[in-house]
Amino acid sequence: MESSTLFSIFIIAATLTATAVAKPRGGDFIKSSCNVTRYPDVCVKSLRPYAAALRAKQSQSELVKAAVKVSLVYAQNSTAWTVTLSRTSRSLSKTERSALKDCVQNFGDTSDQIRQSLTELKHLKRGTFKFQMSNVQTWMSAALTNEDSCLDGFRYDQNGRVKVLVQGRVQNSEKLISNALALVNNLASTGGYSKVF
């Protein structure tokens, strides 16, 4: 093989390698983006199903929408789970039933606020970006507060089985919402001038 052909092959291989290094994979994009969150491992794991789509777009706004969507699905599932628990468990005390009823309301409010956030994120515009992101930050912060309020009804129930179960749900939900909010805040700090649309 001639030296000029070998040289051409070397240049092509080097270019392909450089391109592969320059453009991070979906997982790498998610991992680096999740570094701004309080629970980066949870963030990476929760966004893994969106890796292919995020790899293709490499867009912060798409990543934020995915994180908000994950927290919404979990909040909705938590509502359904809490309703089922309150209906099927016959050994619940009056206090536990009342607390679960409050949790259903809180999870529902959380879902509504996250849903509003997701709708706003789907219609971001440069001219109203700061205003829209301020709305999302307000709603996601309120959603985080709602989750914590769910446990208020269990405050006198020190080690009850139902409290432990609900506490686990709330903690998981809080981690997902907290991570989504951190990513929202990070996106808001760009002012709409980075690759967000």
pLDDT of residue 33: 93
Handedness of CA 57, 60, 65, 69 (dihedral sign): positive
Helix ranges (H only) for the chain are 3-22, 26-33, 40-47, 51-57, 60-88, 94-121, 129-149, 161-188
> 151 near 100, Cβ under 8 Å?
no
44-71 tens-digit pLDDT:
999 999 999 888 888 899 999 999 999 9
Distance, CA of 169 to CA of 82 (rounded, Å): 9
> 140 near 113, Cβ under 8 Å?
yes
Q: Tell me the angle at which helices 26-33 and 40-47 cross, rounded to the nearest 10 degrees.
A: 150
Q: Kindly state the tokens that stand for 148.
A: 């914590």
Helix then strand count (H, E) for the chain reads 8, 0
pLDDT at 165 over 60: yes
pLDDT of residue 41: 97
Helix (H, G, I), strand (E, B) or coil at 9: helix
22-38 tens-digit pLDDT:
344 556 889 999 999 99
Distance of CA 106 to the CA centre of its chain: 18
> 11 near 152, Cβ under 8 Å?
no
Is the overall model pTM greater than 0.85, yes or no?
no
Average pLDDT, the chain: 84
| pLDDT, mean of residues 38-43 | 97
Domains and CATH numbers, the chain: 25-188 (1.20.140.40)
Least confident of 19-28, 41-50, 180-189: 19-28
113-147 tens-digit pLDDT:
999 999 999 999 988 999 999 999 999 999 999 88
Q: Kindly state the tokens that stand for 92.
A: 């619940």
pLDDT at 8 over 80: no
Distance, CA of 98 to CA of 101 (rounded, Å): 5
pLDDT of residue 190: 84
Proportion of the chain above pLDDT 90, given as a percent: 59
Better pLDDT: 17 or 65: 65
